[in-house]
Amino acid sequence: MGSATAQRLISLAATFCLILIKAIPGNSSPTAYEVLEGYDFPVGLLPKGVRSYDLNATTGQFSAYFNDSCSFRQASYQLKYKPAIKGYISNGKLSSLEGISVKVVFMWMDIKEIIRSGDNLDFSVGVGKTGFPVDYFEDSPQCGCGLNCGRRQARKLGINPFALSW
Ligand SMILES: *[C@@H]1O[C@H](CO)[C@@H](O)[C@H](O)[C@H]1NC(C)=O
Ligand SMILES: *[C@@H]1O[C@H](CO)[C@@H](O)[C@H](O)[C@H]1NC(C)=O
């Protein structure tokens, strides 16, 4: 092989590598799920289908948008996300939340704050709070069927989700 050909091949390979690097998703702006993880929260706090989000990295003020409202069961609770949710995020703390509610007995209550404390997440609805293991939120639930689309999560954790109470 002539050296000119070799050089052309090397240059072609280099160009190809550059194209590949640009195509790797991690190189573009992070997804809302990745941002959540960056603040030490599990991705499962956000159901699948986030269309876009805004984040002011200085203040932690954020909004996340879905195409539609989203409802599913998480452990023994029914959760509902509005098409736009917002609040403030900092390491291990989500506060002034708007747009996420949980059905407690027969009432829908807004989740105001979610705080990570070790391996637990404490959810606060204003009148009370309850904790869940972080493991519950390993995967993003799907609107509608939540984590039970394949009944995978409950089996993996080997627990009875109905044993919990608010
Ligand atoms: C949201 O709606 C747009 C326009 O209809 C569609 O292209 C997009 O795939 C939808 N996104 C999700 C996450 O469903
Ligand atoms: C973040 O919020 C602060 C305070 O409201 C504001 O001054 C700043 O311009 C915002 N930054 C961005 C990137 O929007």
pLDDT tens-digit map of 102-130: 998 888 999 999 999 999 999 999 788 88
Residue 51 CB less than 6 A away from ligand 1: yes
Per-residue pLDDT of 7-40, as tens digits, reads 665 564 554 444 444 445 545 789 999 999 999 9
Ligand nearest to the CA of 54: 2
The three state secondary structure string of the chain is CCHHHHHHHHHHHHHHHHHHHHHCHHHCCCCHHHHHHHCCCCHHHCCCCEEEEEECCCCCEEEEEECCCEEEEECCEEEEEEEEEEEEEECCEEEEEEEEEEEECCEEEECCEEEEECCEEEEECCCCEEEEEHHHHCCCCECCCECCCCCHHHHHHCCCHHHCCC
- Total domains, the chain: 1
For range 76-92, the mean pLDDT:
95
pLDDT for the residue 116: 97
- The atom number, within ligand 1, closest to the CA of 67 reads 1
How many A from CA of 60 to the centre of ligand 2? 9
How confident is the model at residue 146, as a pLDDT?
87
Question: Pocket of ligand 1, candidates 67, 70, 143: which has the most ligand atoms within 8 Å of its Cβ, to mutate?
Answer: 67
User: What does the pLDDT read at residue 154?
Assistant: 47
Range of the domain at 141: 3-165
CATH code assigned at 156: 2.30.240
